[in-house]
Amino acid sequence: MTSLSALADSRELLANLTARELRGKYKRSTLGWAWSLLNPLVLAGMFTVVFSLIFRAPAPVGHPSGLKVFPLFLLIGLLPWNFVSNGINGAIDSLTSNANLVKKVYFPREVLVGASVLSWLVSLGIEVGVLVLALLVAGNMVLPWLPVLVVLLVLQTVFVVGVGLALSVLNVYFRDVQHFVALFLQLWFYATPIVYPLSFVQSFVERHHAQLHGVPVLALYHLNPMVGFVESYRRVLYDLRWPAFGDLAYITVASVGMLLVGALLFRRFEPRLAEEL
Amino acid sequence: MSGIAVRVEGVSKRFRLYHERNQSLKAAMMRGGRARYEDFWALRDVDLEVPTGSTFALIGENGSGKSTLLKCMARILRPDRGRIVLAGKVSALLELGAGFHPELSGRENVYLNASILGLRKREVDARFDEIVDFAGLEKFIDSPVKNYSSGMYVRLGFSVAINVDPDVLLVDEVLAVGDETFQRRCDEKFAALKAQGKTIVVVSHALATVRTMCDSAVWLEDGRVKDLGPPGHLIDEYVEQMHPERELVEDAETGEAQGTRWGSGEAQVERIELLGRDGEPTRQVRMGESVTLRLHYRADTPVAKPVFGLGLHRLDGVHVSGVNSREAVVPDQIEGAGHVDFALRRLPVLPGTYDVTVSLMDYANLHTWDFRNRAFRFDVEPGLPREAEGVVVLEGNWSIEPDR
């Protein structure tokens, strides 16, 4: 897989371009990195007000942790989601916004996509760091689970890089891709148990069993890899227990598969990039 | 120094010329899948070899495919057929400072740009001072490049690219950057790279530079190799073929309105002619030929002691020469029509395009009857001597005699 080995060979360039993204992002803002934290906090606050105060949805109880704090429950799903959303959008932009570079200098182009995703991973890392502190303050002893968290983060990065490679190169040929993705991400957000617990979907399916005519709604719902990701993050950070084996297996397969598909597509379309941009 | 640094084998490159360049899904679906386009072959079956350590030029008209070939060598474009084999590390100077981030400092950009060009941090550390020194930006290296002037920007870009220490350097006419001091340093750097046995491939329209700098050249026409060989002969033929077209363009430019004209008008220079070796008017002459500049004048009222002046400017603005007839021939008075000749036994100016300015003034240099700025344009083709640099060839005789 030349695409992936190219990415591995240019680690230093990858690091430098990631640093460029990060430095450029908040360079001239007064709050700088605080923006990276402020954004999810405001979102979490907003959803907390809407769901737990207006709709009076009870905060789910972590088992076995016994934690019952809606904003934390929400953030554990929201932060990985933001990584997916920002990472994919950033990756799509990465080729078109660096068109000049692609046209004038030779280097493995995958690096641009990789650097964009990595810059968002760094943001996620900081956000998760703060989240872990908050969880500790709330009494959740998450420290022993951090290695599992790292595994999940790596898998998710693989997933986002795969999606990013595929969409970024398609976007060069069809600029509709980015608009379509913007729309799709909104739907995807609500198809993922972020603002609601997975149990909602389960009880919905049980209640409406008759009307569904045997359509395997729950299985279809689980096809969304983000369901597995968010559930696994919740179990590790909120419940303090091992992710379900099925979820873990599925997201591993989905991530690696997505990466292969992305790398193949990228390799297929990469040769004409400089002239199509 | 032996071997081949760049081997181009049967390379063809096709571009798609889209009829309607809308990269939207809707348009694609309405067309039923693929965009409609025409194939345009920018390169067809190009074969050539660039020997290691040589300086190689790609020449040809605009659109002949030379930049495309260079980009294929740089691996930015992928040939549709054939292949290009490169020996060693390649660095391309296609655009200077591509990839600079305006918000980052010069220092940060040096590291970033160098790593895009394939240098490791260790290597940049070792060369950093040299890079900054070469660009002459010691004082500004820690301020963001968005505050740089365009000259500083380009200088830094050039300095990074040239210090990558490639085995093969590909250059696309970006040499003309910066002020004269920087230009000279670039020339020195290229000479040094050449001396180190690096291979340099240039795309250039500066034929005089190609002639003196390059060991061999390829002439591309419509994407095909027209000729290949030592630059002197190749450029002579190239210029020969290109001329008819250039003449047309410049004839249009040298209409009456082109240059400014002033003067009281009692006497005027009506027409300027350049007579070639055969005494016939022409606009193309060869260096070293005997030529005559003929000024046709007309004086409606008699004017006393007229002085004719001739100025010669190169197209890039260099004032090559200014001469007048005051110390040579001054008639007591002229009336009616006539002509003045300025004959040169051997045209001393180097190949290029030149503009002639003429003046008709009184003996005391106080009154201008007619002044026509850049009223006539002509081309000088390569001739004898073949090897010459600078602006003019000094007329002189070489002799050698050992001491007794």
B323 has a chain A CB within 8 A of its CB: no
Interchain CB distance below 8 Å, A107 and B116: yes
Compute the nearest-CA separation of B104 from chain A (Å).
7
**Distance, CA of A73 to CA of A196 (rounded, Å):** 9
- Interface of A to B at Cβ within 8 Å reads 12-13, 16-17, 19-20, 23-24, 27-28, 98, 100-107, 172-177, 180, 271-272, 274-275
Of B71-80, B162-171, B209-218, which one has max mean pLDDT? B71-80
Q: What's the confidence (pLDDT) of residue B152?
A: 85
Query: Who wins on pLDDT, B247 or A193?
Result: A193
Q: In degrees, to the nearest 5, what angle opens at C-alpha A90 toward C-alphas A87 and A94?
A: 135
| A275/B103 Cβ within 8 A | no
Distance separating the N- and C-terminal Cα atoms of chain B: 41
B26/A176 CB distance under 8 A: yes
Specify whether the CB–CB gap between B143 and A63 falls below 8 A: no
Residues of A within 8 A of B116 (CB-CB) are 13, 16-17, 101, 105, 107
% chain B with pLDDT above 70:
87
Instruction: For tokens 């691996």, name the residue.
Output: B75
- Give the mutation candidate from A95, A104, A116 for the B interface (greatest B CB count, under 10 A): A104
Joined tokens for residue B299:
């004086």
B99–chain A Cβ distance below 8 A for any pair? yes
Chain B, 275 to 304: residues with Cβ < 8 Å from chain A are: none
Q: What is the 3-state secondary structure (H, E, C) of B205-260?
A: CCHHHHHHHCCEEEEEECCEEEEEECHHHHHHHHHHHHHHHHHHHHHHHCCCCCCC
Contacts with A22 (C-beta within 8 Å, 6 or more apart), sequence order: A119, A122
Shortest Cα–Cα distance, B158 to chain A (Å): 13
- Nearest Cα to Cα of residue B276 among B339, B323, B324, B343: B343
User: Between chains, do B103 and A24 touch, taking CB under 8 Å as contact?
Assistant: yes
pLDDT of res. A259: 95
- Nearest CB partner across the interface for B74, out of A17, A106, A176: A106
Residues of B whose CB is below 8 A from A179: none
Is there a contact between B25 and A174 if contact means CB atoms under 8 Å apart? yes
The model's confidence at residue B343, banded by pLDDT at 50, 70 and 90, is: very high
Please list the residues that pair with B324 across neighbouring strands: B309
Mean pLDDT in chain B? Answer: 83
Most confident by average pLDDT, A56-65, A80-89, A96-105: A80-89
- The alpha carbon torsion through A106, A107, A113, A119 (nearest 10 deg) reads -120
pTM over 0.90: no
Cβ-defined contact of B25 to A176 (cutoff 8 Å):
yes
Predicted local confidence at residue B35, as pLDDT: 59
Q: Is the ipTM of this complex over 0.85?
A: no
Instruction: Specify the pLDDT at position A266.
Output: 94
Residues of A in contact with B94 (CB under 8 A): 104-105
Least confident of A64-78, A157-171, B178-192: B178-192
Tell me the C-alpha to C-alpha distance, in Å, between residue A123 and each of A20, A34, A91, A128: 14, 10, 15, 9
Mean pLDDT of B225-229: 89
SS3 at position A210: helix
Closest chain A residue to the Cα of B15, Cα to Cα: A275
Question: What pLDDT sits at residue A8?
Answer: 64
Task: Judge whether B27 is closer than 8 Å to chain A, CB to CB.
Answer: no
CA–CA separation, A35 vs A26, rounded Å? 8
DSSP assignment of B77-94: S--SEEEEEE-S-EEEES
Question: Mind listing the pLDDT tens digit for each residue in A135-190?
Answer: 999 889 999 999 999 999 999 999 999 999 999 999 998 888 989 999 999 999 99
Which residue of B20, B76, B93, B172 is the best one to mutate when testing the A interface, meaning the one whose CB has the most A CBs within 10 A?
B76
pLDDT of B28 higher than 70: no
> Encoding tokens for residue B210?
């190609």
B146 in contact with chain A, both atoms CB, cutoff 8 A: no
Residue among B10, B7, B8 at smallest CA distance from B81: B10
Cβ of A103 within 8 Å of Cβ of B76? The answer is yes
Which of chain A's residues have a Cβ under 8 Å away from the Cβ of B77?
Answer: 274-275
CA atoms within 13 A of residue A235's CA, in its CB half-sphere: 16
Q: What is the dihedral of CA B75, B81, B85, B86, to 10 degrees?
A: -20
Beta carbons within 8 Å of B19's beta carbon, 6+ residues apart: B35, B36, B37, B38
Query: Contacts of residue A100 in chain B, CB cutoff 8 Å?
Result: 95, 98-99
